Structure 1
Amino acid sequence: MTAALRSPLRPTPRSRRAMPVREALEWAFGTECARLDHDEIEAVAGTGWRPFGMEYVALERAQLGTRVDTSRGRSRPHDDAELIATVVRNTLPWYAATLVADLARAGRTPDWMPDARPRLRPVEWQQNQHRAYGRACDSAELPDGWQPIPRRNRKGVIVQDAVRFTPCHWGPTPARIAAARRAYLDWWGYLLAVQAALMGAGFARVVVLRDMPPMQPWA
């Protein structure tokens, strides 16, 4: 009888879910399929679906916990997921927001090229029944190649031997490795900025922790 008389204005408390910032982003964009507002004109004109701002979410929650259905044939993301998407969109530049959202949706981090180091490799490979080996060339194939090497054959005649060599290159280059790890550090910085903004957001069911992915996993 007591339960039947409980006021709908005071709902039963629910446990809040604590998540690091990366897990919160993957939940919002991957599990709940929250989306960024990618077309400002379309959103203002009312012709497209858009995530709503903090004011809309707060107003919606105040109305006895009801949620307005704005979906197109599917359930709308959780309010907290929409709020996370809004924070990402308002905190980061557009290119950074889309990068963070796309990686979170895929459950990935930027490829920082683990265990990569420059190695000397043949430019071209050849394969026989035993192994793969670098393709050899001679100096005649190069416009400014080495001069032929003179030698005497068995009959004492001087002949010219072309210089044989295997063209090689360093790969991956140090610049490529540095660029990949710079991109990872940029992503890490974006997450740090989003984490600071999420710590002050009024979530209903989510608590964002201070845990961060490793800053330099290659160290």
Structure 2
Amino acid sequence: MTVQQALEWAFRTECAQLELPEPPDPERGQGFGFGLEYVLMQRAALGCQIDGGRYKMGDYTHEDAEVIAATVAGMPDDLGGKRTAIRVAELARAGLTPDWMPGAVPRCVPVDMKRNRYGDRAVTEVVGTERVLSRGKWRTVEVRACPVTYSPHPEQIEAARRAYGEWWKALEWIQQGLQVGEMLREIVVAEEMPRATPWVPTPEQDSR
């Protein structure tokens, strides 16, 4: 399995639970998260499946799925720690890849629209007045403009792709941990990974 497939199998098919570290102790200066090495060492020392005190009403969760969940729970702080672990598990449970907004291009659009019997029209606002000569008389007329914005906003696209990048780095860390840890008994995690920057055209796409 690829690491993404392994995560989806563990959380979506096997319904593994994410057992997160205890809250930090300010007096001891402990932070969220702990190393994967610690997770694997503790499981190896126990020599048995960890259930975290929960009861599954007779349902069995594959031991490899428990190892995968424990690995995710050990997400280091420099990759987002607890927050990233929860995000990875939620996406895997839903069978989803983060939305990096494929094909999104900022477009200049009116801030607001209104509809009348003639169709949709952009909402305008008064930005000033001008004196004009009309039919021999000076008249004061409103100068109106249409407020515009960019949709989707470039910052929105950038944020979505930054979040995808964080997810990808987390998957890379999980993949390496599962391969090096050698705690999986039946599942083999392949080298294949999702594309790191799918919004960047490949050489094959550029040549089309």
TM-score when normalising by structure 2: 0.76
Q: Decide which of 38, 43, 48 is 1:54's aligned counterpart.
A: 43
Matches within 5 A, 1:32-181: 32-38=14-20, 40=22, 54-55=43-44, 58-59=47-48, 71-92=55-76, 93-139=81-127, 146=128, 148-154=129-135, 156-181=136-161
**Unaligned stretches of 5+ residues in structure 1:** 1-18, 42-50, 61-69, 140-145
Which residue of 2 is the match for residue 16 of structure 1? none
Secondary structure at 2:100 match in 1: coil
CA contact (8 A) 1:57 1:79 kept: no
Give the AA of the match of 1:33. C
Dislocated runs of 4+, deviation >2 Å:
38-41, 51-60, 128-133
CA contact (8 A) 2:20 2:73 kept: no
In 1, the alpha carbon distance for the partners of 2:105 and 2:58 equals: 47
Q: How has the CA–CA distance of structure 1 residues 34 and 186 changed in structure 2, closer, same or farther, with 3 Å as cutoff?
A: same
In 1, the alpha carbon distance for the partners of 2:21 and 2:178 equals: 23
In 2, the alpha carbon distance for the partners of 1:57 and 1:77 equals: 18
CA contact (8 A) 2:75 2:82 kept: no
In 2, the alpha carbon distance for the partners of 1:131 and 1:213 equals: 45
CA contact (8 A) 2:21 2:73 kept: no
CA deviation profile, 1:73-117 (whole Å, cap 9, x unmatched): 240311110011011112442111111111111111222111112
In 1, the alpha carbon distance for the partners of 2:12 and 2:45 equals: 22
In 1, the alpha carbon distance for the partners of 2:141 and 2:8 equals: 63
Give the AA of the match of 2:142. A
Percent identity of equivalent pairs: 38
In 1, the alpha carbon distance for the partners of 2:67 and 2:112 equals: 52
In 1, the alpha carbon distance for the partners of 2:195 and 2:117 equals: 45
Give the AA of the match of 1:162. E
Which residue of 1 is the match for residue 10 of structure 2? 28
Higher Rg of the two aligned structures: 1
**Unaligned stretches of 5+ residues in structure 2:** 24-38, 201-208
In 1, the alpha carbon distance for the partners of 2:112 and 2:144 equals: 15
Secondary structure at 1:138 match in 2: strand
In 1, the alpha carbon distance for the partners of 2:15 and 2:104 equals: 34
Q: How has the CA–CA distance of structure 1 residues 207 and 185 changed in structure 2, closer, same or farther, with 3 Å as cutoff?
A: same
Q: CA RMSD in A?
A: 2.5
Which residue of 1 is the match for residue 166 of structure 2? 186
